[in-house]
């Protein structure tokens, strides 16, 4: 279970982020403080305490804060034991049951982590769950199970229209934004994306790169918003090729963007590529 730290802080404004793999395909993220605070970290979505504790110990790191995107067990399972051990604050969505939450967050809130020199803006991104939030700051997006590389989260508690609006918010972030999602689903997502858009050359190139990475058991995350705009069918529901594929799939002309999105999402649910 190798820990990898992406983007060492070459400039003071960009925090290093350490990837902590867990369970089958989860990633928990350690966001390092800037400058002299590089050994203090916030953890995003700690679904299990043990790998977080191991990563902290291995790196000589101090846990400062817990950030949670939504209430699913594989994102919150480690919160209580980590709080018991480290006595740190817990930020999470206002409308979901997050254990030991100390600060309830809504759209537009700013999470200022003074000891780390970091601040993040909160986005409401309902769809996967009703109260799901994302954290954006310093060129990095922590989006839980809303946006994946090449895909998006299942709609457990929201509608296609809600999820489309949520993804539109994230798609409007600067293209260089690094996307730290919570699962390594990229290869399977791209097999589906290829069925939707067989003629997308950017997608074919990315698929080859991802296949090589996964063959070496390497992570494909973080992605970027700019890359996702080129390859992710759930960010491309206004593209003629995606609309045509959705219309063919549904056997009729689709009324609106949410209708296209709904067909693509349903298609993915049943896809075995």
In the complex, the residues that contact Zn ion under the rule CB under 5 A are 72, 145
Return the number of the residue (72 or 268) whose C-beta is nearest Zn ion.
72
To Zn ion, the closest distance from the beta carbon of 146 in angstroms equals: 9
Q: How far is the CB of 64 from Zn ion (least distance, A)?
A: 24
**Contact indicator for 143, 170 with CB cutoff of 8 Å:** yes
Name the residue nearer to Zn ion (CB basis): 45 or 197. Answer: 45
Residue 102, CA distances (Å) to 68, 111, 117 in order: 11, 12, 20
| Distance in angstroms (rounded) separating the CA atoms of residues 178 and 13 | 14
Catalytic residues: 70, 72, 74-75, 128, 145, 183
**Which strands sit side by side in the sheet containing 118-124, from one edge to the other?**
110-113, 118-124, 133-137, 140-144, 178-181, 223-224
> Two tokens at 121?
């803006």
Nearest distance, CB of residue 260 and Zn ion, angstroms: 24
Shortest approach of Zn ion to residue 28 CB, angstroms?
13
Dihedral sign computed on CA atoms, order 88, 72, 162, 157: negative
Query: By C-beta, is 155 or 242 nearer to Zn ion?
Result: 155
> Given the complex with Zn ion, which of 64 and 145 has the nearer CB atom?
145
Query: CA–CA separation, 202 vs 81, rounded Å?
Result: 43
CB of 153 to Zn ion, least distance (A): 6
Q: Name which of 135 and 206 has its Cβ closer to Zn ion.
A: 135
């Amino acid at each position: 279970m190798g820990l990898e730290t992406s983007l060492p802080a070459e400039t003071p404004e960009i925090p290093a982020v350490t990837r902590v793999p867990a369970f089958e395909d989860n990633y928990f993220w350690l966001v390092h403080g800037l400058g002299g605070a590089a050994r203090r970290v916030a953890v995003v979505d700690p679904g299990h305490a043990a790998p977080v504790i191991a990563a902290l110990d291995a790196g000589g790191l101090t846990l400062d804060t817990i950030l949670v995107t939504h209430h699913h067990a594989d994102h919150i399972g480690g919160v209580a034991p980590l709080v018991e051990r480290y006595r740190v604050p817990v930020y999470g969505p206002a409308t979901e049951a997050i254990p030991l939450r100390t600060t309830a967050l809504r759209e537009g809130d700013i999470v200022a982590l003074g000891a780390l020199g970091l601040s993040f803006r909160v986005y409401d991104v309902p769809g996967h769950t009703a109260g799901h939030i994302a954290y954006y700051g310093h060129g990095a997006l922590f989006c839980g199970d809303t946006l994946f590389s090449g895909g998006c989260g299942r709609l457990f508690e929201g509608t296609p229209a809600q999820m489309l609006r949520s993804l539109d918010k994230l798609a409007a972030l600067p293209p260089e934004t690094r996307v730290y999602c919570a699962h390594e689903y990229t290869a399977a997502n791209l097999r589906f994306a290829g069925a939707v858009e067989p003629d997308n050359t950017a997608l074919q190139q990315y698929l080859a790169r991802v296949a090589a990475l996964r063959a070496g058991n390497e992570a494909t995350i973080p992605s970027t918003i700019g890359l996702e705009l080129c390859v992710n069918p759930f960010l491309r529901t206004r593209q003629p090729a995606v609309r045509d594929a959705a219309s063919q799939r549904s056997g009729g002309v689709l009324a609106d963007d949410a209708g296209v999105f709904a067909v693509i999402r349903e298609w993915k649910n049943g896809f075995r590529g």
